[in-house]
Chain A
């Protein structure tokens, strides 16, 4: 188990008896802005945002956290998180996060990136940030398509999967096989934690949150690069109903992108927040 190294301000503690049921059960995380999102119905970005926000709240790090948004559907993330945020060029979030972290090592820096952003145009930036053991946290949302531009083939698109730029299904001979970024990054020295989780069921969502928390704790402990890949749905571009899309993650994506921790360093309890 990870020792909880985070100091909680006693004034933040509220007697549970003073809270309403709504506050106790479904309180909006402080790190999530009170604003409607632009995400399509059934999209899992909202859930992913909430998990990150809950973890930031629980670790009480909102006031020293800086997020870096990508180009893609989550380009608007800066609007939805109640912490400082930058919007990077397409794929360059890990380089930008490197710049932020190197001049502010006491701050918590995370990137939030999609699969086109991280695994295609930003593949060099993510691999080298990992290779440097950059003490940042990466939340990688993999929904197997380019969402913002209307559902084109991504590096994570499954073989045979139809997209607007692979209308006959992804052809192995023409476009190769999907990139498994978690497996790829896990074998790089300097990487502290890599986990792939899914958002297709409440049970998996709970596991995803645990992984996100662990990733942020790695950074707080100064242990190096941490990444959580989240398998997510895109009902709009997959042309499916939301529930159908979640089932598709479970039955089609999980066999190609197996869930689990690919690298999980022993936590350091003595060092923190370097």
Chain B
């Protein structure tokens, strides 16, 4: 397939269609609405299910229903809408049906704004709903990666009977760049044995997140945790840039990771031995890889478009072996490479006694506009 100029939201929608999504249910919310609109046009053309739900609450429960039938079902939303979906996500997790969710994050809290943000890392990675569970969370940084991870999301959802979330910020949802779409996958002919397809010639199937007896629920919880342990062993994915001889390591996901890459390249030109680790899976988190890197690294800089969320996981992974600093912008502000470069330089100077051999050009960002914290 040749490369085309594609908008992130639409590229994800088409990638989902090519991955064989049977049913899409959603509700309009900026900055993901193009995904819903694209599905509204394409799904009926293909004879697949599309419903614009009355709310995100209804949308996620429609997804739940379609997934119970063994069909590939998905929805998409943005931060406030995802908050409304959390109830349904928890039931889906408890029921172990495969579901794909696309969360195109915007600024918060509350109505916040419609500008790109990564403020919902905690929401999706740590607390996608009540009860002990975690979805698999994939964080693309380019339109191409969003396309590729959409296909992977359906595969992982079915393999582990779990929720897989594509977590991206509004920048990626809205931007256009050249990307290649995969070919159309064939739709599966048979539904899985657990699906609710009617008890014809077999015992009845029930799908529920409900276990009345404490011991039964604990056994179910243990099963879910064991599954997460397997996922942590098998499914960690990272994008690594110039890490081979890196003494300093920048960690950022999605757009923050992508901007950080530019800053790393610029820092290298100044002679700073820095590399980038961009987690592609936020859950499972690349904790072992970070711990390994911490054996050699002088320091870490975590860059996020939030007040510092993933930094907690980096700090846990590094385990005190090296200083972990943070640079973040909030409210829909995307950090610029020069801001990150300044933070890299400061980390470099803070972690070595040797005088710097380079000069930083451009202003250091004053604390009133951005903040840098060391915890």
Contacts A75-B210, A103-B22; A82 near B54 (Cβ below 8 A): no
Complex: A185 Cα to B65 Cα, angstroms: 23
Interface string of A62-97 (1 = CB under 8 A from B): 111110110000010011011111111100100111
Stretch at the interface among B2-10, B164-172, B194-202: B194-202
The 9 closest A-B pairs by CB, nearest first: A99-B65, A95-B61, A63-B200, A96-B65, A87-B208, A99-B66, A128-B54, A99-B62, A102-B49
- The prevalent SS among residues of B at the interface is mixed
Q: Which residues of B contact A69 (CB under 8 A)?
A: 208
Known A66-B69, A85-B208, A128-B54; 6 more pairs at CB < 8 Å:
A66-B196, A78-B206, A86-B196, A92-B61, A96-B61, A127-B54
Complex: A85 Cα to B195 Cα, angstroms: 10
Q: Which residues of A contact B51 (CB under 8 A)?
A: 98, 102, 132
Q: Which residues of A contact B57 (CB under 8 A)?
A: 92, 95, 124-125
Complex: A226 Cα to B284 Cα, angstroms: 45
Q: Which residues of A contact B197 (CB under 8 A)?
A: 66, 84, 104, 107
B339 on interface, CB distance cutoff 8 Å? no
B231 on interface, CB distance cutoff 8 Å? no
Complex: A56 Cα to B88 Cα, angstroms: 29
Contacts A62-B199, A85-B204; A125 near B58 (Cβ below 8 A): yes
Within 8 A of A (CB), among B79-133: 87-88, 91, 95
Residue of A nearest to B92 (CB): A89
Q: Which residues of B contact A65 (CB under 8 A)?
A: 198
Q: Are A86 and B206 in contact (CB under 8 A)?
A: yes
Q: Are B23 and A84 in contact (CB under 8 A)?
A: no
Q: Which residues of A contact B53 (CB under 8 A)?
A: 95, 128
Interface string of B181-220 (1 = CB under 8 A from A): 0000000000000001111110011111110000000000
A231 on interface, CB distance cutoff 8 Å? no
Q: Nearest Cβ distance between residue B72 and chain A, in whole angstroms?
A: 9
Q: Which residues of A contact B200 (CB under 8 A)?
A: 63-64
B285 on interface, CB distance cutoff 8 Å? no
Interface string of B54-72 (1 = CB under 8 A from A): 1101110111111111010
A144 on interface, CB distance cutoff 8 Å? no
Contacts A103-B49, A103-B69; A98 near B62 (Cβ below 8 A): yes
Q: Are B58 and A95 in contact (CB under 8 A)?
A: yes
Chain A: residues with Cβ within 8 Å of the partner, total of: 36
Q: Are A92 and B206 in contact (CB under 8 A)?
A: no
Q: Are B66 and A102 in contact (CB under 8 A)?
A: yes
Q: Are A102 and B208 in contact (CB under 8 A)?
A: no
Q: Nearest Cβ distance between residue A251 and chain B, in whole angstroms?
A: 36
Q: Which residues of A contact B25 (CB under 8 A)?
A: 98-99
Complex: A170 Cα to B89 Cα, angstroms: 35
B250 on interface, CB distance cutoff 8 Å? no
Q: Given A85, A104, A125, which contacts B206 in the complex, CB threshold below 8 Å?
A: A85
Number of A-B pairs, beta carbon distance below 8 Å: 130
Q: Nearest Cβ distance between residue B242 and chain A, in whole angstroms?
A: 46
Q: Are A89 and B62 in contact (CB under 8 A)?
A: no
19 interchain pairs, CB-CB under 8 A = A63-B200, A75-B210, A78-B206, A82-B204, A84-B196, A84-B206, A86-B208, A88-B64, A89-B88, A95-B58, A95-B64, A96-B61, A96-B65, A99-B73, A100-B68, A103-B49, A103-B73, A107-B198, A128-B58
Residue of A nearest to B58 (CB): A95
Residue of B nearest to A61 (CB): B198
Q: Are A63 and B199 in contact (CB under 8 A)?
A: yes
Q: Nearest Cβ distance between residue B314 and chain A, in whole angstroms?
A: 35
Most chain A beta-carbon neighbours within 10 Å: one of B22, B55, B197: B197
Q: Which residues of A contact B55 (CB under 8 A)?
A: 124
Q: Which residues of B contact A87 (CB under 8 A)?
A: 206-210
Q: Are A96 and B62 in contact (CB under 8 A)?
A: yes
Q: Are B198 and A66 in contact (CB under 8 A)?
A: yes
Complex: A97 Cα to B207 Cα, angstroms: 13
Q: Given A75, A81, A95, which contacts B65 in the complex, CB threshold below 8 Å?
A: A95
Residue of B nearest to A69 (CB): B208
Interface string of A100-140 (1 = CB under 8 A from B): 11111001000000000000000011011000100000000
Q: Are B209 and A99 in contact (CB under 8 A)?
A: no
Complex: A86 Cα to B196 Cα, angstroms: 8
Contacts A99-B23, A103-B73, A125-B61; A84 near B199 (Cβ below 8 A): yes
Most chain B beta-carbon neighbours within 10 Å: one of A68, A79, A81: A68
Q: Are A99 and B68 in contact (CB under 8 A)?
A: yes
Q: Which residues of B contact A100 (CB under 8 A)?
A: 65-66, 68-69, 196
Complex: A86 Cα to B210 Cα, angstroms: 10
Complex: A103 Cα to B49 Cα, angstroms: 6
